[in-house]
Every structure is written in structure tokens, then in C-alpha cells.
Amino acid sequence: MTYESYVGMSREELLEKIAGQMSQRRFQHVLGVEKAAIHLAELNNYDSEKAGLAGLLHDYAKELPDQDFLDLIDKYNLDQDLKNWNNNVWHGMVGIYKIQEDLGLTDKEILRAIEIHTVGSSQMTTLDKIVYVADYIEHNRDFPLVEEARVIAEQSLDKAVAYETINTVAFLAKKAQPIYPQTIETYNAFCKYSESAKG
């Protein structure tokens, strides 16, 4: 993977920039998502360079202070409702503006996949699904359902998106946490792919 044609710098230079934005632990996660995204791209006949780069950059803005996100929402005239949400939503939906400013990335498909990587969408491209799923299953992840999620991801991206979204919605509902409306849209569009969906 070179990534040079997308960001005008070598992978090594890019890694240095990314590492400067986050903790060592998150940097390892990001490298894990790059690897998982390349694997899922190969499985699904998708461009592995594009998938790898999207995986590598997906959490670029994750450790930005809240105020920076609020400022970006104003600067780019984004939906004011975003201000009612939090880092979980912002680091994707707003983070892409930081990525464009810092790295000059212009590829619309990659930016879109990063934009929706925590909330999904009712309309997801192959790249969108790859990043969404890779983020959940990369090898550093360790939570009770991750092994099953990895098995499902080998079989079908749609099933993996369904599995992840159902678990996310259930997790948030159990903790009585608000659920971003676009996450519900993802749930409604993908729950039919779940093994437990009744025909």
C-alpha cells in the first residue's frame, strides 16, 4: 500500500501524522482496522488500497477536543442538530472536515466511508460496509461478541453490518443511551440480513 496518490505523501509520512493525533493504543487500533479493511476488500473484490487508507484514517479526529468539533460544525455550516450529540458521532460526521484540512484528502468515497463509520446508513457502499465492519472486528478488539462478528464478516458484509448494528442498538438501549437517528435507519435497512430475522 502506498496511498501516495490520495494524500500526496508516503505511508510512512502518513503514519507519523496519524500517530501525532492519538494515543499509542488508538494508533494500534487504527493499524488493525487498516489490516482488517484490506482483508475484507480482498474477500469482496474491492480496491484494497482504498479500503486500507479509509481504515487507517477512520479515527484520525477521534481525540480532538469537543470544542474543535463544535467549531467545525459552524465553520462548515453542518446540521446544527449535530451539536446535541457527542464524540462518537462527531469523530466521523465532523472528523472528515479535519481530515480534509490536515491531509488534503479529496476522494469522496473514502471520505463518505469515514463520515458514517460509527452510525452507518440505509445506503451503504461496499467501502462503507468494509470500514464499518473492520472497525468492529480488527484483531485488537476484545469483547464477548467479537468472535462471532469475525466469523460472520468472512461470510457476508451485509450480515456483518446487520450483526454489528443490532448489537450496537441493543447495547445503547440497555444502557438507556440515546441512539442517533441514522443508526436506527441503518438498523431498519440491514436487520433483514440477520440470521435471526424471521421471513
Chain contacts with Fe ion (rule: CB under 5 A): 59, 135
Task: Considering the complex, state which of residue 115 and residue 135 has its C-beta at the smaller distance from Fe ion.
Answer: 135
Comparing CA positions, the residue from 109, 111, 69 lying closest to residue 90 is: 69
Positive or negative, the CA dihedral 135, 137, 139, 144 is positive
- 39-46 long-range CB contacts below 8 Å, 24 or more apart? 39/134, 40/130, 40/133, 40/134, 40/153, 40/157, 41/130, 43/154, 44/126, 44/130, 44/157, 46/126, 46/127, 46/130
As measured in angstroms, the least distance from the Cβ of 178 to Fe ion is 20
Task: Considering the complex, state which of residue 34 and residue 59 has its C-beta at the smaller distance from Fe ion.
Answer: 59
Task: Considering the complex, state which of residue 11 and residue 141 has its C-beta at the smaller distance from Fe ion.
Answer: 141
- Burial of residue 184 (CB within 10 Å: 0-12, 13-18, 19+) is middle
As measured in angstroms, the least distance from the Cβ of 77 to Fe ion is 27
As measured in angstroms, the least distance from the Cβ of 30 to Fe ion is 7
Give the chain's radius of gyration (CA, Å): 16
For Cα atoms 137, 140, 144, give the angle at the middle one, nearest 5 degrees. Answer: 60
Task: Considering the complex, state which of residue 27 and residue 158 has its C-beta at the smaller distance from Fe ion.
Answer: 27
User: What is the rounded CA–CA span in Å between residue 106 and residue 177?
Assistant: 34
Task: Considering the complex, state which of residue 128 and residue 135 has its C-beta at the smaller distance from Fe ion.
Answer: 135
As measured in angstroms, the least distance from the Cβ of 91 to Fe ion is 8
Task: Considering the complex, state which of residue 59 and residue 193 has its C-beta at the smaller distance from Fe ion.
Answer: 59
Q: For 87, which DSSP code?
A: H
User: What is the rounded CA–CA span in Å between residue 166 and residue 189?
Assistant: 11
As measured in angstroms, the least distance from the Cβ of 197 to Fe ion is 27
